[in-house]
Structures are given as structure tokens and as C-alpha cells.
Amino acid sequence: MARLQVEGLHKAYPGLPVLVDCHLEVAAAEAVAIQGASGTGKSTLLNCIGLLDSPDSGRISLDGQDVNTCSRRERSALRGRRLGFVFQAFHLLPEFNVLENILLAARCAHLPVSAWRARAESLLQRLGLADRALSDVSTLSGGERQRVALCRALLLKPALILADEPTGNLDPDTAALVLDHLLELVHSEGSSLVLVTHDSDIAHRCDRQLRLQQGQLNVGSRPTAGSRAGASVAAPAP
């Protein structure tokens, strides 16, 4: 069974079709990169998968659960506990220190923060930030902030990580380091990753590369050697 299945997704804004019969399948612990020109709907697709927006039609399932049939409360719980988000702009809260920012994932999912503190500290250790746990986030570099954002996204051991241009605000060396951490954590913890990027070098670090064109996902290049069997994308003929 696939970790994520997207079947026949349609999404349009007034006078502008964005996703047109879009299909995607992602296996457990697989990293999939999605590329495409600006305005093709990459962020819209990520928002629909992440339950931040609703498609006009089509089906999205996570570990076999059809999210279309979930109530608003169930979707919120699923988003908080089974999905992790990494954004280009970090979205750390300046009124909280590093550790508190990471633990916000538990707080927002209505889970006891104390039960996740050791997990947060372990992630900081793995990402080389153990000595920054009590630091003000304003004192961190861009790469450090994005590593904190990775810790927050992974805190609750989500089934699926959604990353929207996660290295877009970083210099090339720092971007490579952050991507190393992201891919290592995703694969070692069994999470799946859907990553939107404009950078072909970053895309080719993932197990599979797809391109969003005319509302549909198509194979962007041959799978890398690390691709996992059983993960496929269905792109219906136009």
C-alpha cells in the first residue's frame, strides 16, 4: 500500500484551472521532488496534499485513509499528527526559543509537550544544534533556522513531510547541508517526502523527479539509483 495516493485531483480558481486530473503515488520512506515553472500549481498541490486547501474533486489518501471523508476536526488532527511541513520562510516564532519552537508541533496537535521534549532534544543533537536549544531564534543563521524547522516538522514522527522550496533562502553550501539532514532523517525514520523545488540539483538528490505541467505530474527524468520499488506515478494521457 502506498503512503500517499492522489487520484484525479482537480483544482481551479475563477477562470484559471490549476490542477487537471492530477495523479501521484508515493511509497513509504520515498523522497519525491516536484518541479515546474512558476504559477503551474506546485504550491497548490502541496496545500491540497497537506490539507491546507481542498481540491474541487479527486481523492487524497494517506496510508489508506481517504481524507475526503474526514470531518474538519479529523482533518485538523491528521494534519497535526501525520504531516510535517517545511517552508522556505522557516516560520519560527520569535517569542519562543529554539526548543519551544520545536515543541510547538506537539502543542498544536494537542499533545503533552513534556512527553516530546526528549525527542526534540534528540533531533537537535542529530542536527548539530544541541547547544542552541535555549537560544533566541533571532540569533540563528539561516541554515540553523531551517534545521530547527526540520526538527519541528519531524518531531511527531509524521508519515509524510511536505517541503516547499526548503532551501530557497539559503546559500548553496548551506542548502546542501540542510538537504543532507532532511533526506537522512526522512529515510532513517521511514517518513515520505514530497519536495517542491526550482533547483534541478536538489531535485536529483531525491529518489524520483516529477514535473508539473498543464495541471498534471509527469516524469521529469529517470529515477535515481535510490528509487524504491512499488512507487509510481500515474499520469493519464491528455
Mean pLDDT of 129-155: 95
**CATH number assigned to the domain covering 4-93+143-219:** 3.40.50.300
* Domain locations along the chain: 4-93+143-219
Q: Higher model confidence: residue 236 or residue 26?
A: 26
Task: Please write the tens of the pLDDT for every residue from 2-20.
Answer: 899 999 999 999 988 999 9
Percentages helix, strand, coil for the chain (3-state, rounded to 5) are: 35, 25, 35
Give the chain's mean pLDDT: 89
DSSP assignment of 60-116: EEETTEEGGGS-HHHHHHHHHHHEEEEETT----TTSBHHHHHHHHHHHTT--GGGG
The predicted model scores a pTM of: 0.87
Residue 163 clears pLDDT 80, i.e. is over it: yes
Q: Higher model confidence: residue 152 or residue 227?
A: 152
Instruction: In whole angstroms, give the CA distance from residue 64 to residue 27.
Output: 12
The pLDDT assigned to 220 comes to 63
